[in-house]
C-alpha cells in the first residue's frame, strides 16, 4: 500500500510485556526471515510449525548459559501485522533482555519504533487506521466503560460505519456525476426534494455515529478550555490573568503567540487546563501554517471554547467574525469581550458575553466561575454502544458534517459544487480509515504508542 520497506522488509524487535524485573518477558520479532533469525540463535530446539509453541534454548552470548524459552512462529499473512513473526516467552531480567536483543541486532534486526507493529498491521491492510488507533485507546482506558467503548472501535465498529457512510457518499457522487458526464444539455441541480432524499440518509447516519461519542465531560483527564480568536484579541493576557501567572508573552504586535501555551486553573475541587492558541488568521508562511494547523487540530472533542474578541471593535465586525467561525466552535463557545477598561460602547447584541479586563482584572472572577460551571455540566448519558473516538476522529467526523451541510446549502449553485463538497466530505472519512491520511499524520499517531505495540 505505502512504503514496502516499512511493511516487513526489515526484521524489527521489541519487548511487548512490562519491562523487567518480571517473571516472564514477551519479545516480538516481525518481518520476513524472523523464524530463520531466531533459529540461528538457538542452541537446541527449532521453530518449524507455525502457531505451535516450541520449547527452545536460546544462545545469547559467547560464554553465557543458554536460556530456556518458549517460541511461537507466525507465518506471513497469519500474524497480527500480516508479516512473518515470532513471539518469544522467556524469563524476565534486565541482563537477559539486553543480551537477547543485542543478539537479535547482531543478526541484522533492529529495534521497533513506538507503534511500529500496529503501523505494519495497518500498512499491510490487516486493520484500518481507526482500529489501529484504538490499540492505544484500549491500553489507555481508565475504566470499564472507556474500555468497552475503545474495544468497539478495535473490533471494527467505527470502521464499518465509516465504510458504509463512505459508500453512501460515493453512490450519491456517482449519481450526480452520471448526470454531469452524459447529459448533452445543461445539467440542472437536483430539486430540493431530490436532494433531500439523496443527502438525508447520509446525514442521519453521520449524526447517529456522532451521537455514539457520548462521553462524560468530567470523565477521563482534566477538562480543557481553549482560547480562540483573532490575533491581538487578548487571549494570552486572559490566560495570564485567569491563572494568575505570566505564562504567555503578550504584546501589541499581532501574532505574538505562535505555539500552544498551557495553564492550569484549580479551584480546590476541580482542575481545568487552559490552552492559549495562536490567533486565527491567514498564515503568512510555512511555519505559521503548521502552527495554526496544530491549533486548529486541537479544536475538537469535548473541550470548552472561549471565543475571545477585542471588545473595542464594532458590533458589525464582531458579528462578521462570528459568522466565519467553524461550526464546531460556534455551537459551544462562551463569548468573551476583552478591554472592558477601555470600553467605548455597550454591545447589547452580545448580552450573554462576558466582559473582562486583563488590565485591572474586572470580570475575570465571574468568567472563572462560569468556566468551572461549564465543564461540570451534566455529562449526559453514556450511549450504551458508545465508541471511544480519538480527538482526531471526532474532529474529522465534524469536518465531514460541515462539508455535508455546505453541500446542502450550496446545492443551488450547481451540481459541480455539490459534487466537490461531497467529495470533500468523503475525503474526511478516508482520513479516518487511513486511505488518505498523510504520512506525517501517521507519524504523529503512531509516535504516541508505547514501544512493543
**The one among 118, 338, 393, 426 contacting ligand GTP by CB under 6 A:** 338
* Subset of residues 208 to 267 that bind Mg ion, contact rule: CB under 5 A: 236, 256-257
| In the complex, residue closest to ligand GTP by CB | 279
Q: Is 357 in the site for ligand GTP (CB under 6 A)?
A: yes
Torsion angle in degrees (nearest 10) through CA of 112, 117, 120, 126: 170
* 393 scored as a contact of Mg ion (CB under 5 A): no
Could you tell me the smallest distance in angstroms from the CB atom of residue 189 to Mg ion?
44
The verdict on 358 binding ligand GTP (CB under 6 A) reads yes
State the minimum distance, in angstroms, from the CB of residue 276 to Mg ion.
6
Per rule CB under 6 A, count of chain residues that contact ligand GTP: 23
Pairing of strands 271-276, 224-228: parallel
Pick one of 82, 234, 263, 301: the residue that binds ligand GTP (CB under 6 A). Answer: 234
66-80 per-residue burial string, b: 16 or more CB within 10 A, e: under 16: bbebebbbbebeebb
**Closer to Mg ion by Cβ: residue 6 or 256:** 256
Q: Give CA–CA dist 326/213, Å, rounded.
A: 20
Candidate list 61, 93, 99, 231; residue touching ligand GTP; CB under 6 A:
231
Binding residue (CB under 6 A) for ligand GTP from 112, 233, 274, 306: 233
Least distance in angstroms from the C-beta of 236 to Mg ion:
3
Residue 345 CB, shortest distance to Mg ion, in Å, is 25
DSSP β-ladder status, 224-228 and 304-310: parallel
Q: How many CA atoms lie within 13 A of 301 on its CB side?
A: 23
Apex 282 CA angle, 277 and 286, nearest 5: 85
Find the helix packing angle between 391-410 and 129-140, rounded to 10°.
140
Among 32, 288, 341, 424, binds ligand GTP (CB under 6 A): 341
Q: What is the DSSP string of 120-184?
A: HHHHTTSS-HHHHHHHHHHHH--SHHHHHHHHHHHTTHHHHHHHHHHHHHHHHHHHHHHHHHH-S
Query: Is residue 150 within 8 Å of residue 156, measured between CB atoms?
Result: no
Task: Pick between residue 104 and residue 228 the one whose CB is nearest to Mg ion.
Answer: 228
250 lies in the binding site for ligand GTP (CB under 6 A): yes
Question: Between residues 188 and 360, which has the closer beta carbon with respect to ligand GTP?
Answer: 360
**Closer by beta carbon to Mg ion, 228 or else 354:** 228
- Residues 174 and 178: their CA atoms lie apart, in Å, by 6
Residues of the shown chain interacting with ligand GTP in the complex, contacts defined by CB under 6 A: 231-237, 250-252, 254-257, 278-279, 338-339, 341-342, 357-359
**Sites of contact with Mg ion (CB under 5 A):** 236, 256-257
Amino acid at each position: 500500500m505505502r512504503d514496502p520497506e516499512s511493511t516487513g522488509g526489515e526484521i524489527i524487535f521489541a519487548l511487548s510485556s512490562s519491562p523487567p524485573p518480571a517473571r516472564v518477558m514477551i519479545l516480538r520479532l516481525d518481518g520476513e526471515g524472523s523464524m530463520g533469525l531466531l533459529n540461528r540463535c538457538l542452541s537446541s530446539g527449532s521453530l518449524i510449525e507455525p502457531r505451535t509453541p516450541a520449547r527452545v534454548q536460546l544462545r545469547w552470548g559467547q560464554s553465557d548459559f543458554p536460556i530456556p524459552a518458549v517460541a511461537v512462529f507466525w507465518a506471513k499473512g497469519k500474524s497480527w501485522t500480516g508479516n512473518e513473526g515470532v513471539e518469544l516467552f522467556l524469563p524476565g531480567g534486565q541482563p537477559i533482555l539486553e543480551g537477547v536483543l543485542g543478539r537479535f541486532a547482531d543478526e541484522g534486526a533492529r529495534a521497533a519504533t513506538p507503534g511500529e507493529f500496529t503501523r505494519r498491521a495497518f500498512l499491510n491492510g490487516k486493520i484500518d487506521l481507526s482500529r489501529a488507533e484504538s490499540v492505544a485507546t484500549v491500553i489507555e482506558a481508565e475504566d470499564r466503560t472507556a474500555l468497552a467503548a475503545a474495544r468497539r472501535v478495535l473490533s471494527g465498529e467505527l470502521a464499518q460505519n465509516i465504510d458504509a457512510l463512505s459508500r453512501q457518499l460515493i453512490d450519491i457522487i456517482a449519481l450526480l456525476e452520471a448526470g454531469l458526464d452524459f447529459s448533452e444539455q445543461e445539467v440542472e441541480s437536483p430539486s430540493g426534494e431530490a436532494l433531500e432524499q439523496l443527502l438525508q440518509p447520509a446525514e442521519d447516519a453521520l449524526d447517529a455515529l456522532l451521537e455514539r461519542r457520548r462521553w462524560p465531560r468530567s470523565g477521563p483527564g482534566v477538562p480543557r478550555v481553549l482560547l480562540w480568536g483573532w490575533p491581538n484579541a487578548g487571549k494570552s493576557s486572559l490566560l495570564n490573568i485567569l491563572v494568575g501567572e505570566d505564562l504567555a508573552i503578550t504584546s501589541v504586535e499581532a501574532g505574538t503567540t505562535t505555539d500552544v501555551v498551557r495553564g492550569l486553573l484549580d479551584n480546590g475541587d476541580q482542575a481545568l487546563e487552559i490552552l492559549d492558541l495562536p490567533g486565527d488568521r491567514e498564515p503568512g508562511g510555512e511555519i505559521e501554517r503548521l502552527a495554526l494547523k496544530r491549533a486548529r487540530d486541537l479544536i475538537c472533542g469535548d473541550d470548552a471554547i472561549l471565543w475571545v474578541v477585542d471588545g473595542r471593535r464594532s458590533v458589525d465586525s464582531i458579528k462578521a467574525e462570528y459568522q466565519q467561525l467553524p461550526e464546531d466552535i460556534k455551537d459551544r463557545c462562551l463569548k468573551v469581550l476583552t478591554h472592558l477598561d477601555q470600553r467605548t460602547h455597550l454591545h447589547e447584541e452580545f448580552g450573554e458575553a462576558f466582559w473582562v479586563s486583563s488590565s485591572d482584572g474586572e470580570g475575570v472572577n465571574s468568567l472563572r466561575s462560569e468556566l468551572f460551571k461549564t465543564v461540570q455540566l451534566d455529562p449526559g448519558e453514556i450511549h450504551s454502544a458508545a465508541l471511544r473516538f480519538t480527538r482526531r476522529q471526532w474532529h474529522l467526523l465534524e469536518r465531514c458534517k460541515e462539508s455535508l451541510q455546505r453541500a446542502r446549502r450550496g446545492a443551488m449553485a450547481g451540481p459541480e459544487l455539490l459534487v466537490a463538497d461531497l467529495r470533500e466530505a468523503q475525503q474526511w472519512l478516508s482520513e479516518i480509515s487511513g486511505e488518505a491520511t498523510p504520512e506525517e499524520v501517521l507519524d504523529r499517531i503512531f509516535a504516541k504508542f508505547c514501544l512493543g505495540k
